[in-house]
Structure 1
Amino acid sequence: MPENNGDHTKTTLQRTLEKSHDFDVKAVFLRANQMTKANFATLIQACIVLVVVFVIIGAITQPYITVHDDGSFTIQHQSFIEIATVFVVSPLITGLYMLGLSQARNTPRTVFALFDYIPLIFLLALTQLVNSILMQLGLVLLIIPGLYFWMATSFSLMLVADKSLTPLKAILLSCRVFNAYWGQITALFMIMAVLAITIPLTLGLSLIWIMPLYFSLIGVLYEKLIGGEQVRTEAKPKERNESSFDA
């Protein structure tokens, strides 16, 4: 929610970029956990739909995978398959993010909201493709830049869906938001990484909770740091360009 500050009202995003939020890592995580409990049925159903889609994609691509004697494998038409997968999956992942966001805004929706963003498939797929390229380049270079882009672009799909930003502006703004509170957000991702270690130890059972929790957490972070106000995409002549990075 906007807060009054002197003679004018600052948006949530403005306060984030000025680093004026009170950010309690524990409180954010506990809220995400409580939201997951309250909306578990909807979230787990949406997660199951996403997993089923991945299984179907795997079954379709199986004939194009050749396993060699040394255990390595090659995928025929790999680039085409990867791009097609992004087009199919990106609107569904966006739908899951937005389910988490709707709960953070106290406006819970049904599992069918998962499909609301299919009309934005081209913008969302382009955003996800750029995110993937940045992450892969970062991992190839020094690993840490790849991890940075993985975390820093977490809000980009939601910015396209929620604020109608272009892919480039969404990615840049997502990075600026992450940079403002990179320590706290990284700590939350580290908590999720630790929880992910339990997945193989529990034969995958803990994924039933961890996967919905992740989307709830991103929803809470988005609402806390970006909020529901309209995002300005064009700066006035005397204002700083919104496309620049804030480290």
Structure 2
Amino acid sequence: MSDIYKAPDAELTSGDESGTYGSLEKGIAGDYTLSIGDICSEAWRRTKGNKGTIWLAVLLYLAAFLVVSFVAGLLTGYSAFNIEQQVNASLTSSLLYNLIVNIVAGPLMAGMIMIGVKIARDEETSPTEIFAYFDKLLPLVVASILMTILTMLGFVLLILPGIYLAVAYTLALPLIADRNLGPWQALETSRKAITKHWFGFFGFLIVCLLLYIAGAIPLMIGLIWVIPLVSIAVGIAYRNIFGGPESGQSA
């Protein structure tokens, strides 16, 4: 009997990367380690000197999101910040508003993740990295839409498939930004690689969530350290699984 929850196979990009970090081939084969303690320890060390870069990127992200939300509200008559407009707006206005916002959010989110990835790989980066991937707008948007649809369908089908896919697709956007994969290739590469250590990666995401909660409790002061820590930790996880675009990387 076939597995109705398994996404169809896609032709995946292969390579012969052989550095200390991971590679596409190693990632898909599950040939990587995912020690939560080691990742968090390294991420904490790498926050030194990089907190400012990440926080400036966060502020730029928020500013860009607010501008896009404002413009989308003017164009559609719908606003996420005005309850009265939400009540009176039509379904078409709501859908169009969310479409405009999500089109811009994809490249911005890819840029945020790539800052953590580049810090993890000792590559040069800056807060403006969040604007560096609008040349990949179409594949990022298509991947985001597919991810949302498939995950929602998974939640409809007994919830557990949705949880599985939500975790398994975590690294799809940076694969598009970093490795130039197509939308479906990126989704499948992320899914196949994470599935090999799904529970470990799920535990890693739970730890990240708990760190956010702990950082927010004391008047959100702890987020000053937690947001850079988690951003870099996700970058380290990506690096350990998929490595980088070049071969012969060193740790």
For Structure 1 versus Structure 2, the TM-score category normalised by the shorter chain is: 0.7 to 0.9
Partner residue in 1 for 2:62: 51
Separation in 1 of the partners of 2:159 and 2:241? 26
Q: Which has the higher contact order (CA 8 A, sep 6+)?
A: 2
Of the candidates 51, 55, 80, which is equivalent to residue 96 of structure 2?
80
Moved more, 19-28 or 197-206: 197-206
Q: How does 1:28-39 map to 2 (within 5 A)?
A: 28-39=39-50
Counterpart check, 1:21 vs 2:32: yes
Counterpart check, 1:171 vs 2:182: no
Q: Report if aligned partners of 1:99, 1:108 keep a CA contact under 8 Å in 2.
A: no
Cα offset for 1:197? 2.4
SS of the aligned residue for 1:81 comes to helix
Separation in 2 of the partners of 1:200 and 1:28? 21
Gaps of 5+ in 2: 1-16
Q: Which amino acid aligns with 1:126?
A: V
In terms of fraction of residues, the more strand-rich structure is 1
Of the candidates 126, 138, 141, which is equivalent to residue 154 of structure 2?
138
TM-score (norm 1): 0.78
Give the alignment's Cα RMSD to 1 decimal.
2.8
Of the candidates 51, 57, 61, which is equivalent to residue 40 of structure 1?
51
Question: What does the per-residue CA deviation read over 1:113-165, in whole Å, with 9 as the maximum and x for residues that have no partner?
Answer: 22111111111111111112222233344333323222211111111111111
TM-score (norm 2): 0.77
Cα separation, partners in 2 of 1:58 and 1:87, compared to 1, 3 Å: closer
Partner residue in 1 for 2:78: 64
Counterpart check, 1:106 vs 2:122: yes
Moved more, 166-175 or 104-113: 104-113
Question: What does the per-residue CA deviation read over 1:25-51, in whole Å, with 9 as the maximum and x for residues that have no partner?
Answer: 210121122223331111111011112
Cα separation, partners in 2 of 1:51 and 1:144, compared to 1, 3 Å: farther
Question: What does the per-residue CA deviation read over 1:66-88, in whole Å, with 9 as the maximum and x for residues that have no partner?
Answer: 747xxx95753121111111111
Of the candidates 135, 138, 141, which is equivalent to residue 122 of structure 1?
138
SS of the aligned residue for 2:146 comes to helix
Separation in 2 of the partners of 1:137 and 1:206? 36
Separation in 2 of the partners of 1:103 and 1:18? 25
Of the candidates 204, 209, 226, which is equivalent to residue 225 of structure 2?
209
Separation in 1 of the partners of 2:111 and 2:156? 30
Q: Report if aligned partners of 1:47, 1:212 keep a CA contact under 8 Å in 2.
A: no
Separation in 1 of the partners of 2:166 and 2:224? 22
Q: Percent identity?
A: 24
Cα separation, partners in 2 of 1:210 and 1:51, compared to 1, 3 Å: farther
Cα offset for 1:90? 1.0
Separation in 2 of the partners of 1:64 and 1:15? 46
Q: How many pairs does the alignment contain?
A: 223
Cα offset for 1:111? 1.4
Cα separation, partners in 2 of 1:48 and 1:183, compared to 1, 3 Å: same
Q: Which amino acid aligns with 1:205?
A: I
Separation in 2 of the partners of 1:224 and 1:178? 12
Question: What does the per-residue CA deviation read over 1:182-213, in whole Å, with 9 as the maximum and x for residues that have no partner?
Answer: 12211110101212323653344333333333
